[in-house]
């Protein structure tokens, strides 16, 4: 008898996936009935949010502004701290291998550390408020910015460096006139991209007390004041959308 191996492999794959799903559902005590009840309740929550509480418009908006401010300052701190690391962790530009390796590992470790946990630590040591949020974002974003930026440094054109060396420029001048202008626009673009992500993070950080619109959400969720939640979500949706588009536009222009 001839065995259809492709079909066999497919069946095995499917069986494994199905097994994992069933195991998960068993473990979490989830059955189809619970799901069937869960999905309508999502609709129900959304219904409760309407109409959004207009009295909370200005408070929510100013809290959202605070989230933006947290993201702006946090991203800037991260960009400044990540700048030297971007070069230290870039291979092929004359940094010793051991330094590059160490810097890359540090960046990886920072990247896997969840923002929210950092937020809790900073709230514990700095007290509740936006500054804790700024620090959480500022430290956490170093990981990703450093990684992306070092990749940019690794791909620069060496031609201008050779040209300036040939004309007798010193190292500082080579850096400022041959390396810096090549990487700067892309560094800015990665910082802007990270800013978009950080704005979302800044809306969440309030849930652990680190300022921004999350604080209003936390309070209104505690007391199930759904129309206030609706208002806050509405403002998040509108503001994040506007900033996403603006940021994407600027990124396109500068690179």
Helix (H) or strand (E) holding 213: helix 213-222
- Smallest distance from another protein to CB 96, Å: 19
Per CB under 8 A, the segment of 82-90, 91-99, 142-150, 169-177 that binds another protein is 169-177
Binding flag, residue 198, another protein (CB under 8 A): no
String marking each residue 46-85 x if it binds another protein according to CB under 8 A: --x----------------xx-xxx-xx--x---------
| Torsion over CA: 91, 97, 103, 108 (sign) | positive
* 181 lines the binding site for another protein (CB under 8 A): yes
The DSSP 8-state label assigned to residue 136 in this structure reads: H
Question: What count of other Cβ atoms lies within 10 Å of the Cβ of residue 77?
Answer: 17
Cβ at position 100, least distance to another protein in Å:
20
User: Which ranges constitute the DSSP H helices of 167-212?
Assistant: 171-174, 180-204
Q: Based on the shown chain and the rule CB under 8 A, indicate whether residue 103 belongs to the binding site for another protein.
A: no
- Decide: is 30 part of the binding site for another protein (CB under 8 A): yes
Closer to another protein by CB, 2 or 29: give it: 29
Question: Looking at 80-88, 92-100, 106-114, 147-155, which segment touches another protein (CB under 8 A)?
Answer: 106-114
Nearer to another protein, 91 or 131 (CB): 131
Q: Quick check: helix, strand or coil at residue 202?
A: helix
Check the CA dihedral 249-245-247-190 and report its sign. Answer: negative
Distance CA 74, CA 70 (A): 6
Q: Which residue, 100 or 202, is less far from another protein as judged by CB?
A: 202
DSSP H/E element including 38: helix 32-49
Determine if 176 is a binding residue for another protein (CB under 8 A). Answer: yes
- Rule CB under 8 A: is residue 36 a binding residue for another protein? no
Those residues with Cβ within 8 angstroms of residue 147's Cβ, 6 or more apart along the chain or in another chain? 89, 104, 107, 108, 111
Number of residues that bind another protein (CB under 8 A): 84
3-state secondary structure of 157: coil
- Report the site for another protein in 143-162 (rule: CB under 8 A): 157, 159-160, 162
19 scored as a contact of another protein (CB under 8 A): no
């Amino acid at each position: 008898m001839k065995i259809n191996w492709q079909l066999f492999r497919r069946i095995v794959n499917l069986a494994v996936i199905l097994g994992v799903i069933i195991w998960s559902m068993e473990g979490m005590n989830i059955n189809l009935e619970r799901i069937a009840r869960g999905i309508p309740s999502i609709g129900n929550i959304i219904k409760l949010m309407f109409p959004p509480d207009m009295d909370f418009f200005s408070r929510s908006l100013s809290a959202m502004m605070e989230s933006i401010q947290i993201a702006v300052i946090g991203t800037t701190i991260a960009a400044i701290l990540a700048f030297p690391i971007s070069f230290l962790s870039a291979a092929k530009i004359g940094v010793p291998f051991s330094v590059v390796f160490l810097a890359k590992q540090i960046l990886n470790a920072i990247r896997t550390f969840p923002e929210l946990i950092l937020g809790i630590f900073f709230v514990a040591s700095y007290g509740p408020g936006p500054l804790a949020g700024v620090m959480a974002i500022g430290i956490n974003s170093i990981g990703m910015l450093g990684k992306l930026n070092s990749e940019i440094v690794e791909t620069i054109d060496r031609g201008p460096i050779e040209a300036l060396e040939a004309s007798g420029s010193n190292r500082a001048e080579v850096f400022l006139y041959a390396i810096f202008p090549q990487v700067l626009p892309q560094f800015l673009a990665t910082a802007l991209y990270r800013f978009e992500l950080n704005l979302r993070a800044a809306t969440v950080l309030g849930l652990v007390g680190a300022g921004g619109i999350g604080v209003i959400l936390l309070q209104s969720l505690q007391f199930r004041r759904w129309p206030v939640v609706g208002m806050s979500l509405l403002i998040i949706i509108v503001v994040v959308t506007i900033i996403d588009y603006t940021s994407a536009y600027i990124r396109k222009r500068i690179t």
